Amino acid sequence: MKENISINLRNAGAFVSQEEILALAQQSVRHLDSLNAGTGAGNDFTGWLTLHEDVVIQLDRIEKTARHLRSVSDTTVVIGIGGSYLGAKAVIEALSHTFSGLQKTKHHDILFAGQNICEDYLSELLDILEGRNYSIIVISKSGTTTEPAIAFRILRDHLEKKVGKAQAADRIIAITDASKGALKSLAELSGYDTFVIPDNIGGRYSVLTPVGLLPIAVAGFDIRNLVKGAQAICEVTRKNHNASSNPALLYAAARNLLLQTGRPVEILVGFTPKLHYFSEWWKQLYGESEGKDGRGILPASVDFTTDLHSLGQYIQEGQRILFETMISVGSPRHKLTIPKETDDSDQLNYLAGRRLSEVNRSAEAGTILAHNDGNIPVIRIMVPELDEFYCGQLIYFFELACAVSGYILDVNPFDQPGVEAYKKNMFALLNKPGFEEEGKKLREKI
Ligand code: PA5
């Protein structure tokens, strides 16, 4: 049996004591209880708690659809934004060959659209798709989000012109609400195969629904192991009332205590670029869940050692308003040692024969000590390796901890009312029917 991810609070201990963390974690058992009982704020959106059990019956169909898309195309464009984009992107980036786009071996490329409204991005994507035999997965829970809707209109038109309406319909999959929204009606009208995002799961908690699982399966990864990982960490967290052995409670407690000691910024740190988009997913999860009612910890992220040569200076010596959460990955997938040179002109022979991962681990340990010396607390999440199983663990762990943390902060971790503000203005400025008056007022202000 594989071991679980774990939390190491030793390098936060000089800033908040282990006793304080444990005490708040133990008090937070009541938040776990209200999540499980469905009695807390946003209780209509806690379906993700047992998702890894509920989704199992869909795995065959998801895998079958993935095989179909892989057999009829060499590329799949996944259209979606926010929670309908970041989970799949995070897992695919974590598990893929870093240079998969340049690999000569036959593989299926996953490209993303609808996560911005940039004309150049979509035009350049169309340039690439001219030479590709592609499919589309379009994802929107509401079915009305502007960014993916625009991208889908443009790409659908492109694909239909390229392969004909019937062929296009055979390679477009829509993932959306069971009954509501423009995407649902469009899918029905056009005969697209569809998957449902359950009503009781919000976008950023939806990675383990077809929203994340279908793109990840099309990319060629083992979604059963991903789900198993979530299941395994759920078993030691969701109903575990013993806070000292519940990493989700400890993490939620530690970060809230650090906030209370005057650190409103949390930086998620990875020592591998493979985690870059995992941090983006995490930022959305925590930012949208906690940032409301004038509260919340600002989630930021860095990739080390790259960013030790940019933001590293600020972290070491800037305003002491932050703490770090480091994802420490045990073993890399590959093995690479540093060669010996006879003349040692670059003076690196002291490293000859040693693995890059040893150097990276020393960089990590050195950074923790330096940042502790610079008065920065560091929480560590220990992950044995980056595979499907541990991606599943990280996803469930961070989701559960986020929900508990939101309850500690006394906010509803499952809504995102603030996201509407820019949309209203954008619609008004674009003269969307019904927004004309507001548009006039706004134009006077610009
Ligand atoms: O977490 C969320 O709910 C949001 O980030 C949504 O996922 C995002 O706004 C996209 O919404 P939709 O899937 O309805 O297009």
Per-residue pLDDT in tens (0 to 9) along the chain, 446 residues: 899 999 999 999 889 999 999 999 999 999 999 999 999 999 999 999 998 888 989 999 999 999 999 999 999 999 999 999 999 999 999 999 999 988 888 789 999 999 999 999 999 999 999 999 999 999 999 988 999 999 999 999 999 999 999 999 999 999 999 999 999 999 999 999 999 999 999 999 999 999 999 999 999 999 999 999 999 999 999 999 999 999 999 999 999 999 999 999 999 999 999 999 999 999 999 999 999 999 999 999 999 999 999 999 999 999 999 999 999 999 999 999 999 999 999 999 999 999 999 999 999 999 999 999 999 999 999 999 999 999 999 999 999 999 999 999 999 999 998 988 898 899 999 999 999 888 888 888 88
pLDDT of residue 103: 85
**Residue 65 CB–ligand 1 contact under 6 Å:** no
56/38 same-domain check:
no
Closest approach atom of ligand 1 to CA 145 = 15
Q: What is the rounded CA–CA span in Å between residue 289 and residue 403?
A: 8
Closest approach atom of ligand 1 to CA 197 = 13
Closest approach atom of ligand 1 to CA 204 = 1
pLDDT of residue 147: 96
**Residue 288 CB–ligand 1 contact under 6 Å:** yes
Q: What is the CATH number of the domain that holds 110?
A: 3.40.50.10490
Q: Say if 303 falls within a structural domain.
A: yes
Residue nearest to atom 12 of ligand 1 (CA): 140
Q: Say if 443 falls within a structural domain.
A: no
**Residue 399 CB–ligand 1 contact under 6 Å:** no
404/375 same-domain check:
yes
Closest approach atom of ligand 1 to CA 139 = 13
Q: Which of 46, 145, 211 to mutate to test the pocket of ligand 1 (most atoms within 8 A of CB)?
A: 145
How remote is the CA of residue 16 from the centroid of ligand 1, in Å? Answer: 35
Closest approach atom of ligand 1 to CA 80 = 15
Beta strands in 272-317 (DSSP E): 298-303
348/271 same-domain check:
yes
Among residues 423, 424, 436, 440, the one annotated as catalytic is: 423
378/402 same-domain check:
yes
pLDDT of residue 446: 85
The token pair at 350 is 């002291």
324: nearest Cα among 273, 364, 360: 364
**Residue 82 CB–ligand 1 contact under 6 Å:** yes
Among residues 19, 106, 119, 309, the one annotated as catalytic is: 309
pLDDT of residue 406: 98
- Is 309 among the residues known to form the active site? yes
Q: What is the rounded CA–CA span in Å between residue 401 and residue 423?
A: 29
Q: Say if 213 falls within a structural domain.
A: yes
Q: Say if 296 falls within a structural domain.
A: yes
Q: What is the rounded CA–CA span in Å between residue 180 and residue 188?
A: 11
**Residue 263 CB–ligand 1 contact under 6 Å:** no
How remote is the CA of residue 81 from the centroid of ligand 1, in Å? Answer: 6
Q: Which amino acid belongs to residue 306?
A: T
Among residues 288, 364, 388, 399, the one annotated as catalytic is: 288
Q: Which of 116, 141, 283 to mutate to test the pocket of ligand 1 (most atoms within 8 A of CB)?
A: 141
In the three-class reduction of DSSP (H, G, I as helix; E, B as strand; rest coil), residue 237 is classed as coil
73/90 same-domain check:
yes
In the three-class reduction of DSSP (H, G, I as helix; E, B as strand; rest coil), residue 299 is classed as strand
236/353 same-domain check:
yes
**Residue 209 CB–ligand 1 contact under 6 Å:** no
245/369 same-domain check:
yes
pLDDT of residue 108: 94
Question: By the 8 A CB rule, do 298 and 264 touch?
Answer: yes
How remote is the CA of residue 82 from the centroid of ligand 1, in Å? Answer: 5
pLDDT of residue 104: 80
Provide the CB-side half-sphere exposure for 152 (13 A, CA).
25
301/385 same-domain check:
yes
- Is 184 among the residues known to form the active site? no
214/249 same-domain check:
no
Q: How many domains does the chain have?
A: 2
pLDDT of residue 30: 98
75/203 same-domain check:
yes
**Residue 184 CB–ligand 1 contact under 6 Å:** no
Which of 207, 222, 237 delimits the end of a domain?
222
303/199 same-domain check:
no
- Is 290 among the residues known to form the active site? no
How remote is the CA of residue 12 from the centroid of ligand 1, in Å? Answer: 34
pLDDT of residue 10: 96
How remote is the CA of residue 155 from the centroid of ligand 1, in Å? Answer: 20
**Residue 413 CB–ligand 1 contact under 6 Å:** no
206/247 same-domain check:
no
Q: What is the rounded CA–CA span in Å between residue 379 and residue 372?
A: 11
User: Where in the sequence is the domain holding 351, given as residue range(s)?
Assistant: 6-42+227-417
